Structure 1
């Protein structure tokens, strides 16, 4: 671990499992139902994954206890080398020597025997020929013993690797480790996940409340305004100014008035 909130990649699956448990908890589901669509569970999940370091830091003490139980860190949080990692090179070198030595000795044995028997057939230097034959058979015995030892060494190494692999995979099943993992997950759920999800719901509701509500248009108002025929005032016309004609009543006089004139 490099610092608070840093979770090993192998523990990410446990982190996401706790996140799903928090999303399905009654309190968070009730908060989502009150949100009325302002935010949904998938959006909260995305936010929580993005803020995984912030959430995990709340349960950092419990997580370090889990790592101590697994034997991956010391009490100060420093990473310990995994068992056997310092001797991997030495083990590989020994395996290579065990495999190569019988082959090299067998080749030497074949050369000694070939030269020794060749000298015997030629009759030259019989003492050298006998020495080469003896050395060849001795080398052959050594090669056979080395091959047998190599086979035994490989069987032992394979058995040891299987045992180490089994311990690595079954180490999490130890009761003390399971208790530490449960403590971490409970702290992560109660102090990290659930408060973070509730805060996300409240922030989403606050963001929705800050938006001005849209005024709903009256149904059919736009169509009515568009379909109404334009009036004379809309076209810029005014009614013409008509004046009433200046009629006056005729000047009628009685029948005796014309004779007087």
Structure 2
């Protein structure tokens, strides 16, 4: 295990939640029933909160992985990418789908019409204008489809980063509970029960 960093203030609430879960575990709860005053639970909880740094060190590797995942999720590049309009905003999502489709459909219609007019040898000037407009709309369709795919990819990557962060947090909390808090509570339970 590498050297565990100190428990950050923003992670104390997670520590306290894990402590509450451990205090509610069957073996701890049944042992604490022997103290009808409830002081043993308070003593055990206070002692664990006082030793939070030492307890958290048992899950140091997982905590480091969680901190790395959180730093990766909150760096400026990731924050900037979250501002890109994508599937989260319904207007942008609708435009991202409709603009390429409508542009492509209009481009096909204009190109077919323009080339049909050229083949019919009637009014070559309007036919050229229709063909140019068709190619312009085809370009709009390609560019907007590219942007839509790019935005979709960025959204997927952001969701993957969020999922990785949640997984790292869950792994840390589980390790904290199993290797840190529960063994600590079991070790200090007899002292807490002593009046």
TM value normalised by structure 1: 0.38
Q: If the length of structure 2 is used for normalisation, what is the TM-score? A: 0.50
- More RCO (CA 8 Å, sep 6+): 2
